[in-house]
Amino acid sequence: MPKTAVTTTTNGAGSTSSRPGGASTGSSVRMAAIAAVTNYRASGPPMNFIDTPAKDLFSANVFSKAVMKERLPKPVYKSLIQTIEAGAHLDPDIGDIVASAMKDWAIEKGATHYAHVFYPLTGLTAEKHDSFLVPDGQGSAVAEFSGSQLSQGEPDGSSFPSGGIRATFEARGYTIWDVTSPAYLLENANGTTLCIPTAFVSWTGEALDKKTPVLRSTQALNKQAQRVLKLFGDTDGAMVSSTAGPEQEYFLIDRNFYFARPDLFTAGRTLFGAPPPKGQEFDDHYFGAIPDRVLAFMLEAERELSKLGIPIKTRHNEVAPGQYEIAPTFESANLATDHQQLMMTVLSKVAAKYGMAWLSHEKPFSGVNGSGKHVNWSMGSATHGNLLDPGDTPHSNAQFLLFCAAVIRAVHKYQGLLRAVVASAGNDHRLGANEAPPAIISIFLGDQLTDVFEQIKGGGASSSIAKGTLSVGVDVLPPLPKDAGDRNRTSPFAFTGNRFEFRAVGSNQSIAGPLVAMNTIVAESLDYCATRLEKATGGKASKLNEALQELLTEIMNEHGSIIFNGDGYSEEWHKEAEKRGLLNLKTAADALPYLQDKEVEALLDKYNVLSPRELASRHEIYLEQYVKTIEVEARLTREIAQTMIFPAAVRYQNELASTCANLKLVGIEFDTKTLDQVTSLVKSLQDSTAALTKLLAREGSHDLEKEANHCRDKVLPAMLKVRAAADQLEDVVADDMWPLPTYQEMLFIK
């Protein structure tokens, strides 16, 4: 407990000290964090949901359909809605009218600037702000915002990764207004900005961002789904779009700790840290009462998100101490992706306001659970509703079974791609650890649905209708249960009643990649199914059932091996998966090369989602990110080991040695066990740091796959050796000398 009151509540690194010499130690930061927790008071006036009901706040800062309807001439509004809801071409003539209405609305709400927001391949959000004001030549200024300013921007794109698509001398990149994602106002204490979601492309029209392929893949999915629906007699043409509901897990720790850990604030995860005496073994955090300061943060963050039209639904404590989850209601894929990005920004900003750091890394702390972003995925349209809803008539059963089988086929066929789109240096620490899905992609269907598909598999042709069983003719299938079986937490890809939940996605990743992959592989599967059925039926509806039965049987026989309902963590599954020929790509270095797989390349090209050049650029960028991330971590490991941990260890060693020498002088025997242990650990620390330093001095090559393998095989193990010595030292060195906040402090002081 603090002897003197410490009042620092913000960046505590170096600002408080409990030791002579001014060095900031773990314990001084601990005091600051304790003060921040115990002295926590809401800074502004409390939020008041009585005077301003939550319902009135929702979408208050969005240029929503309602606002458009109110402010736009009817034909313009109608035309825009056609584009947004039915995917119709955007009428270029309406730009000026929309821009003017948008500007008036934004300025009335206090906006001074507008910004095109885009989503470069870094996985982050980028924005370029421009003032509405232009000098009028008479010494004053007028607010201006034209259709062309709304529709197109030209940020200097040269500093964003393009993976060789565009050299810096041809840096031209364009941002293009995405009408399907509404503009919104981003508030800051000192001003408001009108934000316009955009796609980011090169001057040759190649996608330099994450949004463009999401939009393209949505189009591909719609096209193929329409063909399938037509076979079932549904020809209303209502746009089929994929839906996504991402559940975001994250950690919160006091900012005093965060800034006292160079590994956390630079790399997002701790590179050192002995396991705390108490971890998550009591399961006492999951769904537990939310600490006051954390709840205050959640309420404010959710209010901000609500104003932005992001429909937050759920919040709760997660499994690890200091871990939480937030989930919105699902939306169409493109909108959900934009909202997800915005949500991460808002959460991080609001957390800082409450003196906490928001950690989105997949594995900020080893030994306790990591964070994922479960992406719930389905497809549907305004008139059909959810196409993965089993429904309760035989007819919709048949349709459901076909859509579901198409997903099964797609996931089996493109396991490599699905694994590659969740591959990152951060997610490697999570996937395959005994808390997150294994690196093997498989589908959990639940017992009942599996049973139905098993019977279809053995069902053969429609001629062999056996009374009373499910084995044949889809017409005789009974209504399927809505909740098709139990839950399974170990599966990377689980059917959860009316959608699939892709659980392998990392907490820090954009959901764009996973959605692009899902949309495209399912589009391909639907294409395959539609083609087969069109041929077999020759347009005759009466032949559909027979053809369908045959197709479903074939799909299940060829692709059913992707279904696994058991324990994904078990050793047996790894063996079994290998027998089934399923991929087990343990690291990003193993998985990313699948982006250059010939079948994957042909797939993305065929459905106009990514050209071979665009795909190659992504392969290059993601590999480079993997390599750079590990290199940064390695340099940090070396730096922290050398300049923080080693000095602390030798100081303690010195203290022990002089105690020993002094005691000897007065004739007392000193047990040197601890001194010996410290001495030997200091030696290991020195040796392992030296080995890592040597690796860091190595000359790299231009072959990124080779560099990635080097990082995986050499650099990461060398870092772990340094960590092993350091973590053991942490358990012996005097607490007041230890330079880094400990796991115990970071996870439990809140």
Return the DSSP state at 232: T
Among 83, 266, 348, 386, binds ligand ADP (CB under 6 A): 386
Q: Give 591's contacts (C-beta < 8 A, 6+ positions apart).
A: 416, 419, 420, 422, 423, 439, 585
Residues 6+ apart with CB under 8 A from 70: none
CA distance 92 to 731: 67
Give the DSSP letter of residue 713: I
Taking CB within 5 to 8 Å according to partner kind, which of Mg ion, ligand ADP, none is near residue 245? Answer: ligand ADP
In 10 A of CB 185, how many CB atoms? 20
Q: Between residues 376 and 688, which has the closer beta carbon with respect to ligand ADP? A: 376
C-beta separation of 695 from 718 below 8 A: yes
CA atoms within 13 A on the CB side of 305: 29
Q: Give yes or no for residue 400 binding ligand ADP (CB under 6 A).
A: no
Per-residue binder mask for ligand ADP (CB under 6 A), 315-354, x = binder:
------------xxxx------------------------
502 three-state secondary structure: strand
The item of Mg ion, ligand ADP, none sharing an interface with residue 328, based on CB under 5 to 8 Å by kind, is ligand ADP
Of 484 and 621, which has the nearer Cβ to ligand ADP? Answer: 484
What's the longest Cα–Cα distance across the chain?
104
Cβ count near 703 (within 10 Å): 11
Chain residue at closest Cβ approach to Mg ion = 247
Q: Environment class of residue 337 by beta-carbon count within 10 Å: exposed (0-12), middle (13-18) or buried (19+)? A: buried
297 contributes a contact to ligand ADP by CB under 6 A: no
Which position among 314, 393, 469, 531 is part of the footprint of ligand ADP (CB under 6 A)?
A: 314
Tokens of 519: 């949309």
Spatial separation of the C-alpha atoms in residues 623 and 631, rounded to whole Å:
12
Window contacting ligand ADP (CB under 6 A); options: 7-15, 348-356, 374-382, 568-576: 374-382
Shortest reach from residue 241's CB to ligand ADP, in Å = 10
- Please name the residue that has the structure tokens 């955009």: 198
Residues of the shown chain interacting with Mg ion in the complex, contacts defined by CB under 5 A: 247
Rank residues 243 and 366 by Cβ distance to ligand ADP and give the closer one.
243
CB-CB contact of 184 with 343 (8 Å): no
The answer to the question of residue 515 lying near ligand ADP (CB under 6 A) is no
Between 178 and 247, name the residue whose CB sits nearer to Mg ion.
Answer: 247
Smaller CB separation from ligand ADP, 329 or 557: 329
Which of 706, 633, 627, 625 minimizes the C-alpha distance to 163?
625
Residue 378 touching ligand ADP (CB under 6 A): yes
Q: Is the Cβ–Cβ distance between 456 and 559 less than 8 Å?
A: no
CB of 387 to ligand ADP, least distance (A): 9
- Which CB sits closer to ligand ADP, 31 or 327? 327
Q: What is the DSSP letter of 568?
A: T
Shortest CB 313 distance to Mg ion, Å: 11
What residue 198 binds from ligand ADP, Mg ion, none (CB within 5 to 8 A, per partner kind)? none
Cβ proximity to ligand ADP, 12 vs 391, nearer residue: 391
Distance CA 218, CA 223 (A): 9
Q: Is 376 in the site for ligand ADP (CB under 6 A)?
A: yes
* Location of structure tokens 């600051």: 32
Residue 132 contact, options ligand ADP, Mg ion, none, Cβ 5-8 Å cut-off depending on partner type:
none
Task: Select the binding partner of residue 243 from ligand ADP, Mg ion, none (C-beta < 5 to 8 A, by kind).
Answer: ligand ADP
Which residues 480-509 are close enough to bind ligand ADP by CB under 6 A?
A: 498-499
Residue 247 or residue 304: which is nearer to Mg ion going by CB? 247
In terms of Cα–Cα distance, which of 361, 384, 65, 111 is closest to 226?
384
Q: How far is the CB of 67 from ligand ADP (least distance, A)?
A: 24
Residue 111's beta-bridge partner residues? 192
Q: For 660, how many CA atoms within 13 A lie in the half-sphere containing its CB?
A: 13
> Which among 150-158, 241-249, 290-298, 716-724 is the span making contact with ligand ADP, rule CB under 6 A?
241-249
| Residue 244 contacts ligand ADP per CB under 6 A | yes
CB of 331 to ligand ADP, least distance (A): 8
SS3 call for 672: coil
Which residue lies nearer to Mg ion by CB, 268 or 372? 372
Describe the chain by its helix, strand, coil percentages, rounded to 5.
50, 15, 35
Contact (Cβ atoms closer than 8 angstroms) between residue 680 and residue 721: no
Among the listed residues 26, 245, 364, 370, the single contact to ligand ADP using CB under 6 A: 245
**Is residue 113 close enough to count as binding ligand ADP by CB under 6 A?**
no
Select 499 or 750, whichever has its Cβ closest to ligand ADP: 499
- Among ligand ADP, Mg ion, none, the one that 498 touches (CB under a kind-dependent 5 to 8 A) is ligand ADP
SS (H, E, C) 26-54: HHHHHHHHHHHHHCCCCCCCCCCCCCCCH
Q: Least distance from C-beta 1 to ligand ADP, angstroms?
A: 39
Q: Contact between 243 and ligand ADP (CB under 6 A)?
A: yes
Residues 303 and 353: beta-carbon distance below 8 Å: no
Kindly indicate which of the ranges 106-114, 165-173, 370-378, 664-672 contains the residues binding ligand ADP, using the contact rule CB under 6 A. 370-378
Tell the smallest beta-carbon distance from residue 443 to ligand ADP (Å). Answer: 16
3-class state of residue 666 by DSSP: coil
- Rounded to the nearest whole angstrom, what is the least distance from the CB of residue 384 to ligand ADP in the complex? 12
3-state secondary structure of 465: coil
Q: Does 385 bind ligand ADP (CB under 6 A)?
A: no
User: CB under 5 to 8 A by kind: which of ligand ADP, Mg ion, none does 330 bind?
Assistant: ligand ADP
Question: Which residues lie near ligand ADP (CB under 6 A)?
Answer: 243-245, 247, 314, 327-330, 376-378, 386, 498-499
